[in-house]
Amino acid sequence: MKRKTITMSVTVLALAALVGGYMTLKEQNEKAEEEEALLAEGETVWETDSDNLEKVSFFIGGSEYTFQKENGEWQLADDETFPVDETALEELTTAVTPLKALRTLTDVEDTAQYGMEEPQNVITLGLSDGTEQVLTIGDNNESTGNDYLMLADSDSTVYTVSSDIRAAIYDGLYDYAVSEELPAITQTNITGLAFTCADTSYMLYEEDDVWKVESDEVKDNANTDITSELAAQISGLYYVDYLEHNCEGEDLAQYGLAEPSATLTITYEEDESARSRTIKIGDTDSEGNYYTQLSGSTEVHTIASGMVEPFLSYTPEELVQTETESETEAESTTGEESESETETETEE
């Protein structure tokens, strides 16, 4: 009986210890979860109402640019014609206010070890009351992906912040500009292409559901495979880079667009109306992309070489339908007619 009592006591103690250990572990886990949640949310170290932000300066590609509000809209300082993309700029202003720190390092004696002597960027925020807040973004912590940051009001406090601020700063000034839109062209609504350069000139156009090719040398049915290839290039037309928003006259010479080396005129159907746009094609950049400008526009962009070179690679003679292709089409037509006659006879 005594042995049973001792065994039961040991069992109760073990169970109590197990329950106690479980409760302790549970409390520790709950505390860890609370700390992780707090860390994820971050401590607000500076904030202001977005309406109070009237000026934002930061570095893009090594040069400092300033955007300021005029009548409630953002403008590029010293260039009121710059077509500011307010959505892109608001990504940055949203990232900096409220400013939340994931960790705070106080009494830092050597801020250079966090990259503050050669920062990634310096953002100056101008407020409506005339004051400023300066954010200095130092090194990136490779293990966490977060950045180190300092505020102007302290020379010994370093914060760890998420990389959202850095991610909202794009590589080029024109990433903050609204670009014109290219025509809405697909393979199904293209009705004609006219290409001209120093070595060749030709037109491709649709007539009675048949594509034709015409130049000074030839006028005939077009090779459907090549026509489809060229139409596919145009239907996938896109800008690679946006370089200038207000370029005209002699300034175009630097891109080879004062006297374009080639032009491509596209005719297409849109909203049941015939439309036409001409693309001027100039020199190439260091990556082989072509400088380009739409007729009637002052914007300069680049387009991929693969969208231009197919037009350069064919002569008008090579665009003519081949004998083999003509024979194939004739056989197809004959086959369709024979099939139709057979069906008629069967019905009779």
Q: Please state the three-class secondary structure of 112-177 as a single string.
A: HHHCCCCCCEEEEEEECCCCEEEEEEEEECCCCCCEEEEECCCCCCEEEECCHHHHCCCCCHHHHE
**Interatomic CA distance for residues 108 and 117, integer angstroms:** 14
The pLDDT of residue 317 is 95
**Interatomic CA distance for residues 346 and 7, integer angstroms:** 99
- Token pair for 248: 């005209």
The pLDDT of residue 184 is 87
The pLDDT of residue 32 is 46
* Residue carrying structure tokens 């300033």: 66
Contact 159, 137 (CB under 8 A): no
Closest CA to 137 of 168, 116, 106: 116
Give CA angle at 282 (278, 185), nearest 5°. 35
**Interatomic CA distance for residues 164 and 136, integer angstroms:** 14
* Residue carrying structure tokens 């700390």: 35
Each as own residue / partner, the long-range contacts of residues 321-330 (CB below 8 Å, 24 or more positions apart, any chain) are 321/220, 321/221, 321/222, 321/223, 321/224, 322/223, 325/223, 325/224, 325/225, 326/221
Q: Which residues contact 129 (CB under 8 A, 6 or more apart)?
A: 52
Contact 245, 82 (CB under 8 A): yes
Give CA angle at 184 (179, 190), nearest 5°. 140
Each as own residue / partner, the long-range contacts of residues 226-230 (CB below 8 Å, 24 or more positions apart, any chain) are 226/314, 226/318, 226/319, 227/319, 228/187, 229/310, 230/193, 230/204, 230/310, 230/311
**Interatomic CA distance for residues 252 and 202, integer angstroms:** 26
**Interatomic CA distance for residues 290 and 261, integer angstroms:** 10
The pLDDT of residue 4 is 47
Q: What is the pTM of this model?
A: 0.79
For residue 166, is it left (φ>0), alpha (ψ between -120 and 50) or beta? alpha
The pLDDT of residue 35 is 44
| Regions in the chain scoring below 50 on pLDDT | 1-6, 32, 34-35, 37-39, 330
Give CA angle at 222 (216, 225), nearest 5°. 135
Contact 165, 119 (CB under 8 A): no
**Interatomic CA distance for residues 50 and 100, integer angstroms:** 15
Percent of the chain with pLDDT over 70: 81
In tens, the pLDDT along 191-229 reads 999 999 999 999 999 999 999 999 999 999 999 999 999
The pLDDT of residue 13 is 55
